Chain A
Amino acid sequence: MLLTINLDDRRPIYQQIADGIRTLIASGQLSEGQALPPVRQLAGDLGVNLNTIAVAYRELQDDGLIILKHGSRATVASRTAGKHNEEELRGSLRTALTQLVLAGMPLARILEMVNDELGSMMKGIQV
């Protein structure tokens, strides 16, 4: 499975890595117990500092999505992050939807986009 990084993206690399792995876990492409590459491997592949990857992994650990143990590989913990409450998640959704509305998108198109994204995310996993 592949992780895509956009060098023109305004988000920092560590954020893109964390978001990318989050999406792969959510879509079931990364399943529980699956090992992630060592920090050194990802840093070498991308040509970034070891810390950049370590920060991304730590963020995922804080979300409860991966398990980091000293001396062993990072593994996927669970497909569902337990820390967020519904109101917090609703806030994130509201921000994303606000951006789409402000971009002038019609409601039907927004709903279509949300469906598409959900569809591709849920493809291959049982909800």
Chain B
Amino acid sequence: MTVDQYLVLLYLFTIVLRYPRLQERWIAPLLRGTDWFFNVAVPPDFIDGPGRGILRRYRMRLFIPWVLEIPILTVLVISGHQRYIALLIIGITLFTRFNYYAARQASQNMALPFELPATREPVSQVALSLQPRTQGTYTNFWVEAIIAIAFAGSLAWLGYSYVTSPESHRMTWLLSWSIFLFYGQVGLLLIKRAIVSAPTVAPASNAEQYLAWRESLRRFSTWLCDSLRVMLVPALLANDILAIGAPRLHGGTLAAIMLGLCGPMAVIAWYEWRRRSAHLEVARRTKPAKLPGLPGVPARLICFQPAYSMLLLRSVNGYALNLASAPAKLAGLYIAGFVGLCVWLMHLVA
């Protein structure tokens, strides 16, 4: 088995991993029964009437990433550029998430005219927890230690191999890929930071249950971030094995590498499925409430509000990403750095 074939298999494996998330998004609008469409309280017959079309459009939109990725994947495989499949996986993962939020926002907006009058007005009394929330609360020392040691050791080893190996082109490729994974680690840490600091306010009438749901979501999301970071470790170690083993690598070694990569991923995926189910149960029990939006914040996914310093701003219909905030600017720099890194690495391995 070649590295390219292994990447195709890795891609197929990620499709399996994506299935539970697709399933969750599929049922998300009616998670709390037919009385709710996402967070909008609707009449019970809504879903048999106007809601049917809105639901169908929402579910169709969930497949937009597939429509894009299948032709791209075909082109990559036919043209022999399978090595870019890893980039495709990252790009599609990000796009899928953004597409979900956009589809959710759009369908919620479409459902708003049918909202029950009793829930139209936002609550006037809100409650918030006085429990301090820091990165440390959501950090496991051992996970951080393993990731730090694995990355420091692996990058040092690859750097050494790069300097001493006569096969500079292959080593360049391996080292570039490791730098790329390291950059991914940094990105995931930034996302985790944003999750921890995401605003959490609850309706005063149902504060404890509502805050428990938000905490469950926060715990699950930060755990997911850490799991993805842990998953990058075997990918990094595979690079080390490739650096040691070449040019004597044969099918057996590559199969072992693949098993070493897919094994932890499968375990994490199974555990994720369990945690996701537990979180969805909490979400199902919690009635959403219309929280008051901040003045001037539009009911859109993205906004530009320099008056606020926060990344996520409460609007009348959920949250909007504030592009004027410092974390958003940092994310912009990160994305620019990502593009720059890709260009540089492509130039390096060309």
Contact = CB atoms under 8 A, between A and B. Distances in A.
A60 to B, nearest CB: 12
Contacts of B132: 35-38, 41, 73
A7 B292 contact: yes
Contacts, number: 74
A36 B207 CA distance: 19
A46 to B, nearest CB: 6
Interface stretch (B95-103, B139-147, B226-234, B308-316): B308-316
Interface in B198-222: 198-201, 204, 207-208, 211
Interface string B111-138: 0000000000000111111111110000
A44 B131 contact: no
A44 B134 CA distance: 13
A4 B292 CA distance: 14
B197 interface: yes
A49 B310 CA distance: 9
Given A36-B132, A38-B132, A5 B127 contact: yes
B110 interface: no
Contact of A5 (B125, B197, B314): B125
B127 A2 contact: yes
Given A37-B133, A47-B313, A50-B309, A42 B292 contact: no
A1 interface: yes
Interface residues of A, number: 26
A50 B309 CA distance: 9
Q: Name B's interface SS.
A: loop
Nearest to A73: B132
A7 B130 contact: no
A92 interface: no
A41 B199 CA distance: 8
Contacts of B292: 7
Interface in A1-26: 1-8, 21, 24
B130 A4 contact: no
Contacts of A65: none
A77 interface: no
A2 B128 contact: yes
Interface in B179-210: 197-201, 204, 207-208
Interface in B296-341: 308-310, 313-314
B64 interface: no
Interface string A27-46: 00010000111101111111
A1 B124 contact: no
A3 B127 contact: yes
A43 to B, nearest CB: 8
Given A2-B207, A37-B133, A45 B128 contact: yes
A5 B292 CA distance: 12
A24 to B, nearest CB: 7
Given A44-B310, A47-B310, A2 B129 contact: yes
B169 to A, nearest CB: 48
**Interface core residue of A5, A21, A35, A47 (most chain B CB under 10 Å):** A47
B294 interface: yes
A44 B204 CA distance: 18
Contacts of A5: 125-128
A1 B313 CA distance: 24
**Interface core residue of B130, B131, B308, B310 (most chain A CB under 10 Å):** B130
22 contacts: A1-B129, A2-B130, A3-B130, A4-B126, A5-B128, A6-B125, A7-B124, A24-B130, A35-B132, A36-B130, A36-B132, A37-B133, A40-B197, A41-B132, A44-B198, A46-B128, A46-B199, A46-B201, A47-B199, A47-B201, A47-B313, A73-B132
Given A7-B125, A7-B126, 7 more contacts: A2-B211, A3-B128, A5-B126, A21-B130, A47-B201, A50-B309, A73-B132
What 9 A-B pairs come out closest when comparing CB atoms? A47-B294, A2-B127, A37-B132, A8-B124, A45-B128, A4-B127, A7-B124, A44-B199, A45-B199
Interface of A: 1-8, 21, 24, 30, 35-38, 40-47, 49-50, 73
